[in-house]
Structure 1
Amino acid sequence: MSDLTLPAKRVHGGTVADRLTDTVRTRVLPARYLRRNATGDVVETPAELFDRVATAVAEAEAAYGGDVDHWTDRFGERLAGLEFVPNSPTLMNAGTDGQLSACFVISPQDSLDSIFATLGRAAKVFQSGGGVGYDFSRLRPQGAPVRSTGGVASGPVSFMQVFDTMCEQLRQGGRRRGAQMAILRVDHPDVGRFCVAKRAENELANFNVSVAVTDAFLAAVRADEDYPLVDPQTGERHVATDATVAFYSPAFADAAPERVDANLWRDYAAAVPGLDAYRDRLDVAVGDPLSLPAGLVWTLAVDGAWRNGEPGLFALDTTNRDHSFDVDRFPTHRIAATNPCGEQPLENFEACTLGHVNLSLVVNEGVTPWFERDRASEDGNDEETTGDGAALAADVERLLADAVDFDRLRDVVHDGVRFLDDVLTVSTFPVDEIADAVRDGRKIGLGVMGFAELLIQLGVRYGSPASVEVARQVMAFVDRESKLASHHLALERGTFPTWSESKWATPTRYPDWFRRHGGLDPDDWPDRFPLRNHNTTTVAPTGTTGMIADTTSGCEPLFDVVNFRNADEDVQGAERLVEVDSYFLDVLAANGYDPEAVRAEALSLLEAGRFEGPSSLSVPPALASLFVTAHAIPPAEHVRVQAAFQEHVDSGVSKTVNLRETATRDDVAAAFELALATGCKGITVYRDRSRRTQVLTTRPTTRDESSDVGRDRDRDVATGDDRPASERWCRRC
């Protein structure tokens, strides 16, 4: 590799329009972001879009005695330079009466009034351009008695269908379909029904779903023990009803559908390997306290994720332990759900207000890449070795000190935090309770995109031990600087109103937490650390915003150097979108290759269905190996990168563990186990071509059903919008 040249990535073009890809300039922005007149004609240029956003957001400065003109120019420069991009609703609605945050959590209580009030609030959110996550765990299970009517409850999954129908009917702000996340606790009596709710691809098409797993459940999985189900009304052990027995008991495996609507053994056991091992452990009788083998629920979740990417897992106890508030002391701050993308665990009615720093643009010129440097550690690009941890960390620290313009990165982080705090000030919200929650906590989510392109410029293989250490150190810097920026804003503008209840008010009481998230010594702040925003960092998927910035999404690897993208009809039109990684072309040119010739070769192979990644192109193996792609990375390496980011992120990290089509359920289980063991707050996997359509693919046709392995095809119905959880709704982030 020593003769390879890796140029520092820079934006090209003297105008905003010139810096954008053809797809973004001619399809994405006109369809979603540029203003239109009364007759539907586009009346805004890309430069005017960024000017509109910068001007509208900087108006907040007047409320704090700031220089509005200065910050209008400063924010405009960051946007026009593609150094920082906010979430889609800010780009769409800034300068109008619309709300500017991406997503919210609004969870129903167990009453019809609350359920349908939540439905109405969600509809308002969808109209304003946002998405909604819900915790359905408070709803009583199917078959539970309803004293007011003498009937029985229909259960969370049935009400999810109502929400799904509502969402289907509304296009957000007249432009986009709604986005929803459903969360159910693993100890809810209907967890089995929930795990199989999306096995058919047309079911709950407007939902992502995740099971909220607890420490007690995971311990029971490891010990192969049963665990108790809990009555959501009383908090006591669930007493089996006719409905729960009919679903879980093998005694009803031969019952007719007219008598029993669903039975685990009749409807699913034959298609779920390993489930039969638990058949004899389910001796369930009406009136008995109900427990389930933890391995049974784990097997259902793993099988669903292997089949089509759902459900994901949400680490409930880990999330609350890492919260800015001690939920044992202040239980009203307990978190039960996430936004639709999963990277923002939110208290009820909180909002995720997101912005993303483009890491691909902070590399210095003339960097000596990792593979040419003298190092004390073993080869950190070798996926089989980790070397000495301290030596590797020191080597990576020296690499980053030479290669990354940390002064520039610091400035962009500080400007990004200020921008997002200003967004909270100028935004309106569709629901009063949301406005109150946003005001009380002022939660923001500054994240990153372009991480994979940063690694390539450094000469570091994505997934290697060195890449994990780069993730850890870069995100630690972003997190620390975001806290310092929020601290400075607190001194200027005041702390968030519930600051006194937060861990930031007593750093020495939570020293390890404070060191990790503040990057500071708690003994230097024995009494208080004023902060403007109770959370400052998250890592979102940045699907559309990454396209706008012409870089890789969030902390994801490069999907491939060329691929198809399946987008909504308003963006895609009659032709499939084809994406070619622009930095790959830059590297080709810098090393004496004709980028247009290689591009033409890649497109020809792609259209013929014979493209197998960079190694299938007429380029040197050393060059191809630098552009490691999503399916070439072992699942454990995906997870370790996510876990490294999570160490220094307040909220969560949205990442998909991309699996090859041939991956097994054991591969899924191993990814789940590693993610939960290494502190990830959530985990999503997606096996290539496990759905009939997916957002990103290198295949010109839909999945060949004849090649399906182990699928119950009779239960699959084609839909037009099936995507892995962390990709499907990323257009908001």
Structure 2
Amino acid sequence: MNANEKMIGTSLEPQEVSVDVLLEKYAKGSETSVRDVRLRVARGLAAVDTPKKRAEMETLFVWAQENGFVPAGRINSAAGLEIKATLMNCFVQPVGDSITGSDGDLPGIYTAVAEAAETMRRGGGVGYDFSEIRPFGSYVKGTRSRASGPISYMEVFDASCKTVESAGSRRGAQMGVLRIDHPDIEGFISAKDTGGFKNFNLSIGVTDAFMEALAADATFQLIHKAPPSDEQKLAGARQRPDGKWVYREVRAADLWEKIMLSTYDHAEPGILFIDRMNAENNLYYTERLAATNPCGEQPLPPYGCCDLGSLNLTMFVVNPFSANVYFDFDKMRRVAAVAVRMLDLAIDATQWPLKKQQQEGRSKRRVGLGFLGLGSALVMMGLRYDSDEGRALASAIAEELRNAAYAASVELAREKGAFPLFDAEKYLDGQFIARLPQTLRDEIRKHGIRNSHLLSIAPTGTITLAFADNASNGIEPAFSWVYNRKKRMLDGSTRVYEVADHAWRLYRHLGHDVADDAQLPAQFVTALQMSATDHLQMMRAVQPFIDTSISKTVNVPEDYPYENFKNLYFDAWIARLKGLTTYRPNTVLGSVLSVGSGAPAPATPSMPPDDDPLRKQFASRPLGELESVTSKVEYSTQEGKKAVYLTVSFIRVTGTLDGQPVTIERPFEFFMPAGQKSDGQQWITASMRLLSMAARSGGSIAKALGDMREVVWDKGPVRCGSLTKEDGTNLPMYHDSEVAAVGFMLQRILVRRGFLDSYGNQVPIAALARRLIERDAALHGDEQPPLQFHGELNRTIGRKKCPDCGAYALQKVDGCTRCAECNYIGGCG
């Protein structure tokens, strides 16, 4: 976009940030303007249309883009170019339970890794359902060993995503899903607590059965088709009449509490109501949905994919900020009809990463037309986002968009034929299709429909900056009217510029005073100035008219009460929503925007992720005495019995939260006493040194020991430790190697000390502090006052590195990736 060029459809000059994002992400070759990109996209899509209509369609496609249609990022960045990049934004990659090859119709784990890597390399974001992978500790018949569980294999996908740079210099985006009835669900909930899985969003597939158990305060079974180990059977695992194994039962409320606490602390995992997704699926008769794309707006089957686009609602507001303002529904319907044709053509124009994705995409022809700028458009209309009137208009817009999109797809079916898997009787029996106007249903029965699904509301952060003058993101209200964005330049310098919401800029352009936010009209309400319930109510108003799903973040303030927060997700289920994500700024996540005009406030230095917020203070052993625990470890291998003495030393670490002192005890040193360092056991000495290095650097001891327990050798099982049965007798425990056996015994030491929980996971910092207080009180009685602990200390999570400023400060907000340091926006649209 040239600096003096007017924004299409408005009288506003482009913002500097719009020019920057356009040139960096979407303009190719000699392109310098929005119009250049629109012309290329129009030509690229028209080129695969009916030959006689190509010239006419190219002109029509430019018109649609200039009047409000904004194709998603993949189309804008790759359409019309001779590159092997996909135009599809969304993919779901199936994952089976076998290591390689296939597991029925599902690819094995490492086959799935390779397929996902190719998809990300071509520019697609990928979602996975890992629920087919057998639970940790379950029996593996082929190797007579124990399974390592889905969480361990997720690390392989995480590493692959980190390595693969996708088309257009975009890093791959991933969504990991695990069903709530999977036996490893508790480990999945806490998977990010120690800084791992930086290349994943995580969501839990929640069933109606679980929510009903929660409502009834009942227990809930954690199940899997894979058989448990003998140890797990003795611990209570049993087989149901349907053949599935119940690994254990938990109180639904207790499991829900763990999910809600994690989400309250650091915005993950999200929730997918998978039974609702499937009940509303137009293709209920031929597919099963278990996962979504990375932002959650597209529930998709195995190898499913979707191309996206949005209507800029601000382009249909006539006479904004005036007494005779109105919304031009007729123009919106006309633009929507052209948009559907463009998205349908993208299915034919795209380069497909995998043959199976091509088969899936062309047999169903899913598209996802949505909108952006709802918050800005309501402000221009004089309506508050959190009002009944605002929700009524949003509902009307969604309904008209639905009808226009379905009518356009019927017309395409008359011209080009219905999607190959169309079955009129079954399709018309779908729950969503049953809500269409009767006239549309009659037309579908008579002519068919070109696209199985047509509607999706996605996050649109970068395309709104480049093509819509920073209108509000997707369905969201504005997060702030003005904020500052910092960008690191190639020469190392930093550029700072102001970014403003489109409605706010237009209001100022019309001559109104915007110097004081408090003096703005009542409709100028931001995300954090309304209640969480108001966010939910907006989703509830729109969702009935969207055949897939909505990517929306319910923003709540930092001091939002937890008791109110944890009810949001239950309310979302009652409201028949398909999913929900929340964001609460806090001392761990931070705030995502530097609000205000002028120079930004000094940035807080970013630090790399740690195991906990009390970063290790000593790089070498401190002077003085350390409290230590020594354990004699005896184990048996095929070579005979062995015994070693393992010692763990502990150190107290003090930090502060909100000015209050917090002291915990954590491992500092692992070692073997002298006299045991035979040639056959030098690997233990090396392991102790590596564990000590991890402890002193603030690394994750829980993960290091977990990795040790997964080491396998070919010398047969190692007998070490025992499991106590209900009758009081002991069952010997077997491990896959000596390394695994030693890791197990070290875990036991730390479990007894209270540093790890019974599953080997890191205990939250707040609990460690309380246990230390209790221990001191028990040891010293009233002789000296115990350490004080005030409030809750949130657990640190790992953050991804910002590609602009280099800070470890990337967070997910409104479905997009935002940097808390420089306000970079990416990973959406």
- Indicate the TM-score class for this superposition, using the shorter chain for normalisation: 0.7 to 0.9
Gap change, CA 1:243 and 1:87, over 3 Å in 2: farther
Checking the alignment, whether the CA contact within 8 Å between 1:450 and 1:553 is kept in structure 2 is yes
**Contact 2:339/2:369 (8 A) holds in 1:** yes
Q: How does 1:209-288 map to 2 (within 5 A)?
A: 209-233=202-226, 242=232
Map of 1:179 onto structure 2: 173
CA distance 1:206–1:570, change in 2 (3 Å): farther
Instruction: Report whether the alignment pairs 1:652 with 2:549.
Output: yes
Q: 1:326 to 1:300 in 2, by over 3 A?
A: same
Corresponding residue for residue 805 of structure 2: none
- Contact kept, 8 Å, 2:282 with 2:433, in 1: the verdict is no
Give the 3 Å change call, closer, same or farther, for CA 711–94 of structure 1 in structure 2.
Answer: farther
> Which among 128, 139, 155 is matched to residue 122 of structure 2?
128
Q: Tell me the equivalent position of 2:636.
A: none
**Residue 467 of structure 1: how far off its partner (Å):** 1.6
Distance of 1:487 and 1:186 partners within structure 2: 38
* CA distance, structure 1, for counterparts of residue 491 and residue 62 of structure 2: 25
SS at match of 1:724: strand
Q: In the alignment, is residue 69 of structure 1 matched against residue 74 of structure 2?
A: no
Match of 1:323 in 2: 281
Query: Is the CA contact 1:417–1:486 (under 8 Å) kept in the aligned structure 2?
Result: yes
**CA 1:172/1:568 → structure 2, altered by over 3 Å: closer, same or farther?**
farther
The 2-side partners of 1:197 and 1:191 are apart by 10
Q: Confirm or deny that 1:35 pairs with 2:28.
A: yes
Residue of structure 1 in register with 2:313 after alignment: 359
SS in 1 for 2:380: helix
Alignment partner of 1:534 is 2:452: yes
Aligned partner of 1:724 in structure 2 is 812
Post-superposition CA distance 1:631-657 (Å, at most 9, x none): 011000001101211110011000000
Matches within 5 A, 1:47-446: 47-61=35-49, 64-79=50-65, 81=66, 83-95=68-80, 96-97=82-83, 98-113=85-100, 114-173=108-167, 175-200=169-194, 202-233=195-226, 242=232, 289-327=247-285, 330=286, 333-365=287-319, 403-446=326-369
Could you tell me how far apart the structure 2 residues matched to 1:106 and 1:78 are? Answer: 33
SS in 2 for 1:291: strand
For the pair 1:514 / 2:468, whether they are aligned, the reply is no
Q: Residue 305 of structure 1 contacts residue 668 of structure 1 at CA under 8 Å; is this kept in 2? A: no
Secondary structure, in 3 states, of the residue corresponding to 1:499? coil
1:77 to partner: Cα distance: 2.7
User: Which residue is equivalent to 2:748?
Assistant: none
Q: Distance in 2 between matches of 1:240 and 1:313?
A: 33
Amino acid at match of 2:60: R
Q: Check the 8 A contact 1:34/1:44 in 2, yes or no.
A: yes
- The one-letter amino acid of 2:481's match is V
Task: Give the 3 Å change call, closer, same or farther, for CA 573–125 of structure 1 in structure 2.
Answer: farther
The answer as to whether partners of 1:449 and 1:552 remain within 8 angstroms in 2 is yes
Report the alpha carbon displacement of residue 686 of structure 1 after superposing the two structures with TM: 0.3
Give yes or no for contact 2:98–2:109 (8 Å, CA) kept in 1. yes
Change (3 A) 1:435 1:366: closer
Distance 2:233 2:459 in 1: 39
Match 2:463 to one of 518, 521, 545: 545
Q: Within 5 A, what are the aligned runs for 1:473-484?
A: 473-484=396-407
Supply the distance in 1 between the matched residues of 2:524 and 2:448 (Cα, whole angstroms).
43
What's the CA shift string for 1:565-614, capped at 9, x where partnerless?
Answer: 57898999833554112321322343543x6xx3xxx8xxxxxxxxxxx2
Contact kept, 8 Å, 1:143 with 1:244, in 2: the verdict is no
Query: Which letter does structure 2 place at the counterpart of 1:354?
Result: L
Which deviates more, 629-638 or 540-549? 540-549
**CA separation of 1:702/1:71 partners in 2, compared to 1, >3 Å: closer, same or farther?**
farther
Query: 1:642 aligns to what?
Result: 539
Higher relative contact order (CA 8 A, sep 6+): 1
| Partner Cα separation in structure 1 for residue 488 and residue 162 of structure 2 | 14
Gaps of 5+ in 2: 101-107, 238-244, 607-655, 660-789, 801-807, 818-825
Worse-superposed segment, 213-222 or 558-567: 558-567
Give 1:50 deviation, angstroms.
Answer: 1.9
Determine which of 585, 593, 596 is the counterpart of 1:688: 585
- Secondary structure class of the residue paired with 1:722: strand
Pairwise CA distance, 1:724: 2.4
Contact 2:137 2:149 in 1 (8 A): yes
Matched AA of 1:343: E
Q: Note the C-alpha offset of 1:232.
A: 3.8
The separation in 1 between residues aligned to 2:346 and 2:202, in whole angstroms, is: 29
Cα 1:337–1:475 change in 2 (3 A) is same
Query: If the length of structure 2 is used for normalisation, what is the TM-score?
Result: 0.69
| Residue 490 (structure 1) aligned with residue 413 (structure 2) | yes
Alignment check: 8 A CA contact 2:223 2:246 kept: no
Please report how far the alpha carbon of residue 186 of structure 1 lies from its aligned counterpart in structure 2 after TM superposition.
0.5
Task: Tell me the CA shift for residue 242 of structure 1.
Answer: 4.6
Whose helix proportion is higher, 1 or 2? 1
Paired with 2:16 and 2:792, the residues of 1 have a C-alpha distance of 39
Higher strand share: 2
Q: In 2, Cα distance between the equivalents of 1:463 and 1:112?
A: 50
2:212 partner letter: A
- In structure 2, the CA distance between the partners of 1:87 and 1:465, relative to structure 1 (3 Å rule), is same
1:462 aligned to which of 379, 385, 402 = 385
Aligned to 1:685, the other structure's residue is in SS state: strand
Q: 1:160 to 1:293 in 2, by over 3 A?
A: same
Q: Distance in 2 between matches of 1:536 and 1:244?
A: 51
What is residue 605 of structure 1 aligned with on the other side? Answer: none
8 Å Cα contact 2:410/2:444 also seen in 1: no
Give the direction of change, closer, same or farther, for the CA distance of 1:178–1:23 in structure 2 (3 Å limit). Answer: same
SS, match of residue 134 in structure 1 = strand
SS in 2 for 1:292: strand
Deviations 1:5-45 (A, max 9, x none): xxxxxx944799986421121x2122222224xxxxx6654
The verdict on how the C-alpha distance between 1:14 and 1:32 changes in structure 2, with shifts beyond 3 A counting, is closer
TM score, norm. by length of structure 1: 0.77
Partner of 2:756: none
- Cα distance in 1 between the residues matched to 2:111 and 2:488: 30
Distance 1:571 1:531, change over 3 A: farther
Length, aligned pairs only:
608
Q: Matches of 2:489 and 2:196 in 1, distance apart?
A: 21
Cα displacement string for residues 360-411 of structure 1 (whole angstroms, at most 9, x for unaligned residues): 1102227865xxxxxxxxxxxxxxxxxxxxxxxxxxxxx9xx7111121011
Q: Secondary structure at the match of 1:555?
A: coil
Q: Give 1:663 deviation, angstroms.
A: 1.4
> How large is the Cα RMSD of the aligned pairs?
3.1
State the alpha-carbon separation in 2 of the partners of residues 206 and 232 from structure 1: 29
Per-residue CA shift, 1:670-711, capped at 9, x if unaligned? 211121111111100000245445654438444998449955
**Cα distance between partner residues in 2 of 1:731 and 1:167:** 14
1:674 partnered with 2:571:
yes
